[in-house]
Amino acid sequence: MKNLEIVKNMTKEEVLNLFDEADEYRGKRNNLLKQKTLGMIFKKASTRTRVSFEVAMYQTGGQAIFLSKQASQLGRGEPIKDTARVLSRYCDGIMARVFEHSKIEDLVKYSDVPVINGLSDEYHPCQSLTDYYTIWRKKGLDAKVVFLGDGSDNVCHSLINTATVLGKEIVVSCPDQAKYHPKVKGNYEVIHDPHEAVSEADVVYTDVWVSMGETEEKERDLMDHQVNQEVMSKAKSDAIFMHCLPAHRGKEVTDEVMESSNSVVFDQAENRLHLQKALLLKLMK
Catalytic residue among 127, 226, 268, 276: 127
Catalytic residue among 50, 101, 124, 225: 124
> Which one-letter amino acid corresponds to residue 273?
L
Q: Which residues contact 160 (CB under 8 A, 6 or more apart)?
A: 170, 172, 182, 184, 186, 187, 188
Nearest CA to 138 out of 271, 281, 273 is that of: 271
Active site residue 249: no
What radius of gyration do the chain's Cα atoms show? 18
Phi-psi region of 251 (alpha: psi -120 to 50; beta: other; left: phi over 0): alpha
Active site residue 207: yes
Contact 60, 31 (CB under 8 A): yes
Catalytic residue among 244, 268, 274, 276: 244
CA-to-CA distance for 142 and 26, rounded, in angstroms? 23
Active site residue 73: no
Active site residue 26: no
Whether omega for the bond prior to residue 246 falls within 30 degrees of 0, making it cis, is yes
Catalytic residue among 207, 268, 274, 276: 207
Q: How many CB atoms lie within 10 A of CB 130?
A: 27
Catalytic residue among 48, 243, 272, 274: 272
Catalytic residue among 97, 101, 243, 274: 97
Active site residue 268: no
Active site residue 244: yes
Which ranges of 215-284 would DSSP assign to H, the alpha helix?
219-222, 229-234, 255-258, 265-284
The residue ranges of DSSP E strands in 88-202, in sequence order, are: 93-97, 115-119, 145-148, 170-173, 188-190
Active-site positions read 97, 124, 127, 207, 244, 272
